[in-house]
Homo-oligomer: A and B are copies of this chain.
Amino acid sequence: MDVGPRIRALRMERGISLSALARLAGVGKATLSGLENGVRNPTLETLYAITAQLGVPLTAVLSAPEQTPTVRGAAVGATLLEVFHDRDATYELYRMRVSPGPAQLSPAHQTGVTEHVTVFSGVLRAGPVDAPLTGGPGEYLRWTSDVPHSYAAVGEEQVRASLLLRYPRPSGKDG
């Protein structure tokens, strides 16, 4: 859970000093320094004050890498952003990154599961192994994942995309 380095990176991106961010966020320099260096274990209040000042949601520094129960191969990393339910199904929304390299295979899921991918950057080749789809920035891919499917980046650029998994609610089962 590398929140320290992430805070530091976000601060650096914005070109502001540790002292300045501490003052803006209303926290002590000692606090921010300790947090960035992983010496302290911040409270939620402290972390919120800082992320709010950086203009990012708490989730932006907390997308827990190892906690996320998901596909994780050599070239594909996915982070669970949100889970929600409605009458008919459960949805899981992921942020996904696919690095250039060999295609990442994913086995068949249960019947009725669909995958919805929106590509943000790079070019993604994904879908059923026997009929993969290709999409660039802004494009949308969808398939049923009851057959083996794969993900691969086309070209040298890392692919960023959102992935939505839809699991239909098993009829007659408990909820």
Contacts and interface: CB of A to CB of B under 8 A. Distances in A.
Interface in A135-155: 137-138, 140, 142
B162 A162 contact: yes
A58 B43 CA distance: 14
Interface residues of A, number: 51
Given A57-B68, A58-B62, A82-B95, A164 B47 contact: no
B44 A47 contact: yes
A63 B82 contact: yes
A27 to B, nearest CB: 13
A81 B62 contact: no
A130 to B, nearest CB: 21
A14 to B, nearest CB: 10
A16 interface: no
A175 interface: yes
A170 interface: no
A155 to B, nearest CB: 14
Given A95-B82, A142-B138, A162 B160 contact: no
Q: Count identical subunits in the complex.
A: 2
Residue of A52, A58, A68, A166 with most partner-chain B CB within 10 A: A58
A30 interface: no
Contacts of A3: 44
Given A56-B83, A57-B81, A121-B88, A164 B164 contact: no
Interface string A29-44: 0000000000001111
12 contacts: A44-B44, A48-B67, A51-B67, A52-B67, A55-B69, A57-B64, A57-B79, A57-B80, A59-B80, A81-B93, A91-B120, A116-B138
